A and B are shown apart, each in its own frame.
Chain A
Amino acid sequence: MSTSFRLPNVLGLAVLLCAGTAWAADPPDAAATAFSGCSECHDTVAAAFASNPHARTAANPGDRAICESCHGDGTAHAAEGDATLIKVPKGSAGAGTCMSCHQGGIGASVSGRGAHSTAGVTCGECHVVHATDPTEPALLRTRGSEACMSCHPDAAHQFGRPYAHKLGDNAMTCASCHDPHGGRGEKSVKQTRAGELVCVGCHTDKRGPFVYPHVNDVAGDCMTCHQPHGSVNEKRLTRSRVDQLCLECHTGTPGTFGSQPPSLHDMRSPRYQNCTTCHTAVHGSNSSPLLLK
């Protein structure tokens, strides 16, 4: 099959499945959303919750056991109407309630003690369980990267640099590369499904493996030369001049990895200040040991 036909086919199949199921589904019925015992008072929450992702695995969506799976036994609360007689998961204790289920399913993180939780940022800071729009992906309080930027203004400014990944609603988000449930620092950076650095998930032409690799996660990785959020330098490089960037590693020093360019490289000439003009295959080559092509 020609690859040009695959995309519309897959796209069509997905929408067909989605729309077809919608066609077959019954119209909304407010009565059917009742959570016996809870919906009498919490009717708005109950109505929205019937289609909440948390109700997807329940055999009987109207069963108040769904509510009680997070809020505990509500018998006394229902009888007395006293708000103090029901458990409201909040803070780190509330996170424990979430983690009792969200600890390893498909697409779910397995990190219990992630960087955010260690710093006191718990599930409810970013997610809202009783979302008014239960179709909002991941039940996030805000769309895209807004939640991240509100606490990480320094990262927001990095994306404001002229050479930056485009961060926005219709392009990347912070979660494209970072796992907000992951560990500190580099541990928050996602991997591809095959365990590679997340960068090559999009920049597939840099993935290799190459017969003659350059930096390739064995000695050095993408961040050795690039600043992924945003840089003041072209190509998000860590240095404004390519020859400066290259020579900082490529200076022969005993005990370290990095070859010395031969003396024909006269750095006073613009020709040699632009190393990649000749060494075009700087990310790796299958045919040139010197990464010339």
Chain B
Amino acid sequence: MKTRHISLVALMLLLGWATAADAQSTQFSLGIGYQWVDLSGNGDMYKSQINEDDGFFLDDLTVGHTNADGYSMRVDAAGFGGNPSGRLRLESALRQVYRLRFNYSRAEHYSALPMLANPVLGRGIVPGQHTIDRRFDNLDLDVEFLPGRAISPVVGYSRSHRTGSGTSTVFAGQDEFLIDSAIDETVEEYRAGLGFNVGGFAGNVTQGWRSIESTEDFALAPGAGGGNNTRPVVGRDVTARDYSRTNSFEGSTPFTTARVAGRLGDHARLVGTFTKADLSTDSAMVESIDGSLVSFDLARYFGGRREEATGKTDGNDWRGEIRLEAEVVEGVEFSAGYLARHRELDGAEVMSTLYSNTTNFSGLDPRSIEVLLDAANALSREEKALEGTISLSGLGPARFWISATQVDQEIDMTVDAAQVVIPGGQDGSYDRSVRRVSSGLDVDFGDLSLAIDMRREDADEAVMRTDFTERERWRARGTWDVTQAVHVIATAERMDASNPQDGIDYDDETTRWGVALNVEPSKNLGVRFGYDLFRNDSTIKVRIPQDFTIEDSIYHEDGEALDAGLNFRAGRFSFDGGYSQFKNGGEYAFTLNRTYARCDLSFGEKLGAGLLYDSRDFSQPSLAVADYEARRYSLVLRWQQ
């Protein structure tokens, strides 16, 4: 929370400076608020879903300035403080000289869910053992120089910083232990490029260099030495006295992107893109654990383990696409494209493991054992796609398009023997061809427009078990402006995917439809209503590990969402409020109710105030400990000129 407030204060100072410097601003608005959160129930669940907190926040800040010399500047920002995210955006340009775009965003990511990674849920212990409380800071800066339309150099910089704590687990000695974690990761990217627009061809070429540095430290959580497994293993309690691990990671990725588009005569256009990236990383891990532990692999008890690993990966990615678009005759357009994509990854690792204070299960042979592992992996994917599309628009109010695509995939995997526990399904070569036909029809009668499209895909084989061999999707959408004040949008979608291969028998069916109604009898009054239904039924055969029997894995979602809202303005007063409910009746049944309202009142032309109310009630019938009720009250003061 402290960092949230520091950020907000720093932002206000920064923007105050910018505003003072630009005394000729033609647009300025600032809204600062304070919010209170009244929470009952599972606070971790609330933070995992919403994460609003007590404190100041920036409701809105906009500073805009333009002048006749072609200078323009805009700063807008919102969030920060009690809000889990915040954004500052700055755009500045001077005609024929430069354009600058700067974005800074912050997001706080909290996750402590009751069911996820929680083998001790049955003992009533929540949340689960994998939690995170992290902050992401991201910034992007691009400056484009505009000496003219022909050539535009651009330079840019991006930085992403991730920090925070969390909990995880480590599997050691036939038990899992809860561990604390802390991560510090920085990704930086420098880039320079050139935009061009010459002889009817426009495009850009960019060369970038990205680097990453990451360190994550782990340590045994207080009181977690007993592990999750409370029973003795081979007659001995498995416990940990001490645990520590550091994962460090460095990587660099030079990349090149190029795009070009241009006209070939009056009726044709050629578009090409190319991206290439060379990835490489170096990693190191040092881990040690002491306690009373067991290894089935070594058939021994042991008192300590120290492991060191160094790894190296290299990757080569490239992707290129070329497409020809042509208007054959008026109203008939044709496009044909070819896309090739290649992804290749190689990894190698050397690991040394020392087991100390070992005895076999009969209590003999006490000595340390050193194990060395030298492992390597390789994966690659080659994909080529040919696509052709014909669009007809000279059909009165109707437009029709049809498209055919063939994608050929080649996937090769070479896996180190060290990770093969049960042979099969972990390496090999896979070839897959997917043929896709899609088409659509749009009809526009002015106030009423209808659109329907379908896509049918056939694949000769599946690479992964959940890959389809047949898939079909239908979508429909209609909009109707009943009157100038009444607008209706309805959407429907159905998708069926299947793979009847013996032993898989995959079948997935998704249906969804929704309708939205907007009524705006005047500029000062609006009513909206939305209703959405979705359903998913999926089955696939799975093999149960403990007895190798085959069972159906059945998954079901049955959701319903509705929302209704009202907004109106009367003189200096405005109101926006609504209610929404989301219910799921499938495998994971819950209800989420939300009510919100915002009232704004202006005191003259420059000042105003707003009151906000937001309530969220989450209930999960099968796990009452996950429920929460949260009420958020906010007061916002506005100043604009």
Contacts and interface: CB of A to CB of B under 8 A. Distances in A.
A118 B333 CA distance: 10
A209 to B, nearest CB: 4
A257 B285 contact: no
A20 to B, nearest CB: 7
A191 to B, nearest CB: 7
B83 A170 contact: yes
Contact of A257 (B105, B116, B272, B426): B426
Interface stretch (B569-577, B580-588, B597-605): B580-588
Contacts of A32: 68-69
Interface string A1-34: 0010011101110110111111101111110110
A157 B540 CA distance: 27
B261 A103 contact: yes
Contacts of A154: 491, 493, 512, 514, 532
Interface in B185-228: 185-187, 189, 191, 193, 195, 197, 201-204, 206, 208, 210, 212, 214, 228
A27 B67 contact: yes
B264 interface: no
Given A21-B73, A23-B21, A106-B152, A56 B96 contact: yes
A153 B419 contact: no
A271 B119 contact: yes
B68 A220 contact: no
Interface residues of B, number: 221
A152 B530 CA distance: 12
Interface stretch (A72-80, A81-89, A244-252): A244-252
B107 A162 contact: no
A119 B78 contact: no
B87 A169 contact: yes
A235 interface: yes
B235 to A, nearest CB: 18
Interface string B338-359: 0000010101110100000000
Contacts of B618: 162
A259 B415 CA distance: 12
Interface stretch (B33-41, B161-169, B360-368): B161-169
Interface in B5-50: 10, 14, 17-18, 21-22, 24, 26-27, 49
15 contacts: A17-B92, A57-B146, A106-B144, A120-B449, A157-B530, A160-B582, A195-B317, A205-B162, A219-B411, A242-B116, A256-B501, A258-B425, A263-B547, A278-B176, A287-B247
Give the 4 A-B residue pairs with the shortest CB-CB distance, closest first. A289-B419, A170-B79, A51-B66, A211-B347
Interface of A: 3, 6-8, 10-12, 14-15, 17-23, 25-30, 32-33, 50-51, 53, 55-59, 61, 92, 101, 103-108, 110-113, 118-120, 133-137, 150-154, 156-157, 160-163, 166, 168-171, 184-185, 191, 193-196, 202, 204-205, 207-213, 216-220, 224, 232-235, 239-242, 244, 247-249, 251-274, 276-278, 280, 286-287, 289-290, 292-293
